[in-house]
A and B are shown apart, each in its own frame.
Chain A
């Protein structure tokens, strides 16, 4: 079989980049609130519906994308202020159950409002590959996805290392008591974490939908699941881990599917998880182990 390896690698990378972006959203919330947000997928789907309608009304993809970011942020804020704030923080499982409840509320509300059918969301760029000579290399849409995720990464890195807010967020996440003593408004930082994370999640879902079946109340369910394993492999605390693991898993899954068959992709995920976690129980880019032990 004369398979265009480069093209496969390119689509794998682009898919991995989306996993990475969504995993970043999970990492952001984890760092801010120590919650694995099971509602991330459903929340992202809500912002995609907003984007869909904005694009439909204006005919402009970019306005839709902006709307996804904004509505994601608003939703993150609302969920944190309106729901999560009232959840007993001494029991993290309570937050998980509340998130699962939120998933049910959000998806069923979407299904009631817009129906269960898939709606097409066209990509803003063609996916026909750019060729160098005779070799198909990568599609413009894949390039676009990679670029967006790269910009996102850079922006987050700058935020956390170069700005006061970013530093405060890190401090609040890692040492809430000390930060509070130092005048950091820890709960405000937590809200900000939710806001940021939901915006990023909405963006990632918006990127994946054109490559999948379309917009539907469950459109980001699977993205959440894949991204959750990506975040685990990379290390829940580590944005770098999310990106590296996301890209790697995207490429591996693409090759496994093409050569061994789609059936084996989920088995490959278990193997990757086992392989990584047996050696590094806190993920590839784990911070100091002692903190959570």
Chain B
């Protein structure tokens, strides 16, 4: 749509600007302030320069948390994206069953994060959980509170359970926008199932898939509540992801300086990824407009 040039539109945006500035910019400034200062309490601050940043960049603890975080996000994306596409392709196209599927699939998305954690915490327990109980009966040694590998599997399966539907729903919406004529043309050309997917369905899903990947990456990158409730970051530090580590540092130990430096670097990563995404998306929008 052709837009009118009008700088008075700023007045319409002003309320948003004020409220987001209050809840985003001011806190962020506090973080920046902490990151370059040292404090011994009583609101006395000493200039520390980039000390905290240096400390954090070379800190093993941060490296390990970052490593775990990247591994976790990579596994999540590698499972959820293909599975989500596969589910979307298998969903009924219309009618009663399509509605049923939509509603049931959306259900996990709307459960409070800590309840998701609680559900899986209970579900996986060997003594009272369905999953834990049957795994134990099968003779599989499974205990997510002691064994790091089991803890990882539990957290990953939980995330797949929680969020695959998001990818599937977005892909489904993309698939719905494909006119039937495309499929008919493919049938006339005797295209294989794979060709239909590769040359018709996948290009049409590209836009929504991009959003799905971005959202999944971002949300898994800042995951806090679910693993915190299930494993508390343990056993040891094996499921301590970036957010959990950060909260431990800031609220638990009150190491404000390092935590703030950590926050800023964390935020810059987010900013970078958001920017890449935004650029790609606006380019896609433009191409569609042509």
A joins B in a complex: no
